[in-house]
Structure 1
Amino acid sequence: MENNLKKLPPLERKPDGSLHRMTPAQRKRANALIRRECCSYDSGNCIVLDDGDTCICPQTISFSVCCKHFRWAVLPLDRTLEAEIFRDKDAKRCIVCRKAFVPGSNRAKYCPDCAASVHRRQKAESERKRRASVDN
């Protein structure tokens, strides 16, 4: 695992050289993601840093993004959280629910959860208009 960790790209830093910081809500989501998806997390301990003594996972107790494995292997699983932390400009807000999401195109206005219901409603309205205009 350590050899794989060395092959990962370095952590991105802000222009002033500091690490990217998370808000408390983002940290809570990140910790849930670590517990659920991280293969090097075991009951609060980091397997990668284990050298015989147990070592607490530094990413779970930090507000900054300080673990390469978390940054490159775990965080991409939640694209919205990644965009909120690293690329604020790439995340958009859904018009319906105001939740942040990463758009698939520059025209996206709705998060994936709301998009289906909004498009279904728009399609039904269009069909109603079409049926009303047909002469029988």
Structure 2
Amino acid sequence: MKDNPYKRLPPLERKPDGTPYRMTPAQRKQASALIRQECCNCEDGNCIVLDDGDTCTCPQTVSFSVCCKWFRWAVLPLAGTLEAEIYRGRDLKRCAVCGGVFVPKSNRAKYCPDCAARVHRRQKTESERKRRSAVDS
């Protein structure tokens, strides 16, 4: 019998009161899409890990709590924002440009990574233009 990699995964985190972390309906929808798209142990809606000869529906697709170790440790980190929304709700910020939620890399972060590149490029262009215009010809 081969070793099941699912057994070697760390246990699921729980809130201080012992309850599992819960997802909102929007987060659950994102999680279900992630399960269908990414490398989850889910095939045609059935969990491969829990398959003991009889098909078993993937519990993570029908639950609002984070109840699957494979989903938690192998799939959820692929969507950093979703993981942060579920586990670190207070550490998130909203982008000043697009309004999207992102995990800040510092306490001064103001823009999501996508908008940050555009904003900083625009700011640098304006700064250079101002510097060049200040030079006497």
Task: Structure 1: state its 5+ residue gaps.
Answer: none
The one-letter amino acid paired with 2:69 is: K
Partner of 1:128: 129
Distance 1:132 1:63 in 2: 58
> Aligned residue pairs: how many?
136
Partner of 2:116: 115
Partner of 1:87: 88
Partner of 1:50: 51
**Aligned residues of 1:94 and 1:111 also touching (Cα < 8 A):** yes
TM-score, normalised via structure 1 length: 0.94
Partner of 1:32: 33
Partner of 1:6: 7
Partner of 2:60: 59
The one-letter amino acid paired with 1:123 is: K
After the TM superposition, which of the residue ranges 35-44 and 48-57 deviates more from structure 2? 35-44
Distance 1:41 1:106 in 2: 38
Distance 1:91 1:102 in 2: 5
The one-letter amino acid paired with 1:100 is: V
TM-score, normalised via structure 2 length: 0.94
Distance 1:62 1:39 in 2: 16
Deviation at 1:27, TM superposition (A): 0.6
CA RMSD of superposed structures (Å): 1.3
Distance 1:78 1:135 in 2: 51
Task: Structure 2: state its 5+ residue gaps.
Answer: none
The one-letter amino acid paired with 1:88 is: G
